[in-house]
Amino acid sequence: MKLQTIALATSVMALSAAAQAETIRVAGNFATDHSSSVAMEIFAEKLVELSGGEFEVNLFPARQLGGAAENVQAVKLGAVEIIWVGTAYLTRTVPELEIVGLPFQFESREDAFKVVDGPVGDALDEKLAAEDIKSLGYMELGFRQLTNSVRPIEKIGDIEGLKIRLQPNETHLATFRALGANPLAMDVNELYSALEQKVIDGQENPFSIIQVAGYPEVQEYVSNTGHFFDFISVVANKAWFDGLGAEQQGWVTEAMDTAVAEQRKLAEEQDGAALDKIIEMGMTYTEVSPEFAAALRESVAGVAAETKARLDPALVELLDTETMN
């Protein structure tokens, strides 16, 4: 009888905890099988575990709550608590984020994460906080590669005149203007149909995104230009985060740290396998020669200087110090 009473009491307590669980809405525009979406599932599971069920996480990947720009507005307004989004979509709010999106800035993913995990990342997080956005970490989007439906890209002249979709990042747009393209900022939720209808000629994304988004269905040529290394920012509504207790904030932070670390591993694995899959899907792959790579760097050399000239000098100095070490 006592065992039955204990079991009943335990069940009642569990139901009560579930009823009182705080729901966190988390939105993203990446496909469900992308490494970042998989990582957010890890975050959800880890947070429920750490909080003992005090938190419940509702995930909305694959543009279920709108495109990237809409997600940014939603988290700023508190309509959702957390989003994961390409960092470029936050540059309209915090232009200083362009400092980690300069052309040909990083030789490796290790170099890239050294910067955002260090003092530069801390300074950028402060800029975000001033706009009521809490940074929870930086995932990998990866080296961006160029695709199009017009011709193989083997030299600078092949880029000239192409209508290329880019993220809403002024440095990215300036880079492709310097290469002679006609760049157009467009939200990702409009991209596939624009490519399919030939409204634009091409786009640029990491191999993994090109694959999972199905762009080989509407694009013919791909080259390993690697012109930017891009990040995914995981950010929260600052008022919501600040309203949590210290222990609750610790759970959220620990769970997200776990998810970010796992995503970086998964991203490297996915990107390594994605090119083969893209080719299998019918795309024509053109390897960028050392001579072409050098010409690309030379053509956009002035873009980085122009970007740095309009950003916080202290941040620029901090970046230069970090990248020289």
Would you state the pLDDT for residue 325? Answer: 75
In the predicted structure, residue 1 carries a pLDDT above the cut 60: no
Exposure string (b/e) for 147-174, b if CB count within 10 Å is 16 or more? bbbeeebeeeebbeebbbbbbbbbbbbb
Give per-residue pLDDT as tens, 260-271.
Answer: 999 999 999 999
Would you state the pLDDT for residue 20? Answer: 75
Would you state the pLDDT for residue 272? Answer: 86
In the predicted structure, residue 85 carries a pLDDT above the cut 70: yes
d(CA 15, CA 244): 22
Give per-residue pLDDT as tens, 152-200.
Answer: 999 999 999 999 999 999 999 999 999 999 999 999 999 999 999 999 9
> How large a percentage of the chain has pLDDT more than 90?
91
Beta 163-166 vs 182-185: how paired, if at all?
parallel
Would you state the pLDDT for residue 11? Answer: 41
Q: Which domains does the chain have, with CATH numbers?
A: 2-320 (3.40.190.170)
Would you state the pLDDT for residue 303? Answer: 97
Band (14; pLDDT cuts 50, 70, 90):
very low
> How large a percentage of the chain has pLDDT more than 70?
94
